[in-house]
């Protein structure tokens, strides 16, 4: 089982780590420009797109679980129908996003109290990157389909191409052509369309695009549509809560001033780096758990969950140790501004302990998605957001100051891990359809 886990997890880790690498390069390039509000604009602009694009992360997660179960049950035509269905949904939503871009931006800027300089450059960033929506949403669906088919190499190829192109284009546009925030946005836009074209080419090459023709009746089959949207609506609510928490974090950081916003943005990059490493095993859990659920194989299911959890905790522990030993040196990669570095030192301790705590809920997310046990995952996220994250911040803010938002985020992740662990007995280990 460890071999199967690593075959899926290692490509996922490599591709996942290229995502925060992109954010790290963007942060480092913008962070060394002459004004701190450029970095603030990237932070606020990114959180707006996190809301928009992460909100549709269900197109990847829901697709992986459903396709993995169909693959485990040897329903090959159903896997193709699921791909066509998710791409149709992605296209529909991306058109709606682009049509609604003006009210979305205005509402976002009302919710985030940024300085006038930050708002100005957020508008520049947003007006360009919004047109990457079709490519971004399509990539969610295609990569999720590949993972469900137990193919982690293709998402790795696509993601690495996407982020390497993005980094190169950003460096060229920002450093050579002095395009600052606009250069970062154009880099994201161009790289996204090249990557989705590459993903389609990979699919056509390996999976024989002309085989198993799909009829309109297949796409609109009522029971299948009901399950598709039920699973994805739960994941959408779960993801919306997660993005809301990060957006709230950024908004409260922005209220404190550009220096604190810049410091917290840099530390969040370290959270993302450790998270994407752990998520390699969470993605492996999605693929394997879905496969063994589809095949009704309890023994292999239990082995996959245990193996992924052990590996995830190991990566989390390594992240905590790395940040404890090298955190002071790592943050200087992102900025050389003294005030920002001093602000980072005040709250760095929360980032040190984050990887080991976060690893538990990340791996459980993969398990629940693979099992398509999405209602308890949705409910645990709602509880962690509404009853833990927000109350902790508002109760401690007047006493702890800048530490309050970090304590809220830390408590949020811890609560998710505890709740998913408690619910696993009923929804993961004892589902009635699994063979003993």
Count other Cβ atoms within 10 Å, centred on residue 328: 12
Higher pLDDT, 260 or 396: 396
Mean confidence (pLDDT) of the chain: 86
Q: What is the pTM of this model?
A: 0.78
Contact 274, 24 (CB under 8 A): no
Query: What's the rounded Cα separation, in Å, for the pair 191 and 132?
Result: 9
**For the segment 305-360, what is each residue's pLDDT rounded down to a tens digit?**
999 999 999 999 999 999 999 988 888 888 788 888 889 999 999 999 999 999 99
Tell me, what DSSP letter sits at residue 434? S
Averaged pLDDT, 375-403: 94
Query: What's the rounded Cα separation, in Å, for the pair 193 and 389?
Result: 36
Contact 289, 150 (CB under 8 A): no
Compute the Cα dihedral for 292, 225, 424, 237 and give only its sign: positive
**For the segment 212-238, what is each residue's pLDDT rounded down to a tens digit?**
566 566 666 667 667 777 787 888 898
């Amino acid at each position: 089982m460890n071999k199967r886990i690593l075959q899926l997890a290692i490509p996922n880790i490599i591709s996942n780590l290229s995502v925060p690498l992109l954010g790290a390069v963007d942060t480092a390039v913008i962070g060394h420009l002459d004004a701190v509000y450029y970095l603030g604009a990237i932070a606020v602009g990114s959180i707006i797109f996190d809301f928009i694009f992460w909100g549709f992360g269900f197109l990847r997660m829901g697709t992986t679980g459903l396709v993995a179960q169909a693959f485990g049950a040897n329903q090959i035509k159903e896997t193709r129908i699921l791909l066509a269905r998710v791409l149709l949904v992605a296209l529909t939503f991306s058109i709606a996003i682009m049509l609604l871009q003006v009210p979305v931006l205005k509402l976002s800027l009302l919710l985030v109290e940024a300085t006038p300089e930050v708002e100005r450059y957020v508008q520049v960033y947003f007006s360009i990157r919004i047109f990457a929506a079709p490519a971004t949403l399509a990539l969610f669906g295609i990569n999720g389909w590949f993972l469900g088919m137990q193919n982690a190499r293709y998402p790795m190829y696509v993601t690495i191409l996407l982020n390497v192109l993005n980094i190169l284009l950003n460096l060229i546009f920002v450093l050579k052509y002095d395009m600052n925030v606009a250069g970062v946005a154009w880099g994201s836009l161009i790289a996204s369309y090249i990557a989705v074209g590459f993903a389609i080419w990979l699919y056509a090459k390996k999976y024989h695009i002309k085989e198993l023709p799909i009829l309109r009746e297949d796409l609109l089959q009522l029971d299948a549509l009901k399950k598709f949207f039920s699973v994805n609506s739960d994941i959408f609510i779960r993801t919306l809560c997660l993005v809301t928490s990060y957006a709230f974090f950024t908004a409260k950081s922005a209220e404190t001033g550009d220096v604190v916003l810049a410091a917290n943005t840099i530390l969040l990059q370290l959270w993302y780096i450790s998270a994407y490493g752990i998520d390699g095993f969470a993605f492996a859990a999605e693929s394997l758990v879905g496969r063994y659920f589809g095949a009704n194989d309890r023994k292999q299911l239990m082995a996959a969950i245990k193996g992924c959890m052990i590996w995830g905790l190991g990566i989390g522990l390594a992240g905590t140790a790395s940040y404890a030993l090298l955190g002071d040196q790592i943050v200087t990669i992102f900025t050389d501004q003294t005030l920002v570095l001093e602000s980072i030192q005040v709250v760095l301790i929360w980032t040190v302990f984050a990887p080991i705590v976060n690893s538990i809920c990340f791996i459980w997310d993969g398990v629940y998605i693979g099992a398509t046990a999405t209602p308890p995952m949705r409910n645990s996220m709602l509880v962690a957001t509404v009853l833990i994250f927000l109350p902790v911040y508002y109760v401690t803010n007047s006493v702890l100051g800048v530490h309050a938002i970090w304590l809220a985020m830390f408590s949020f992740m811890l609560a998710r891990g505890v709740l998913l662990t408690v619910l696993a007995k009923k929804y993961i280990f004892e589902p009635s359809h699994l063979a003993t």
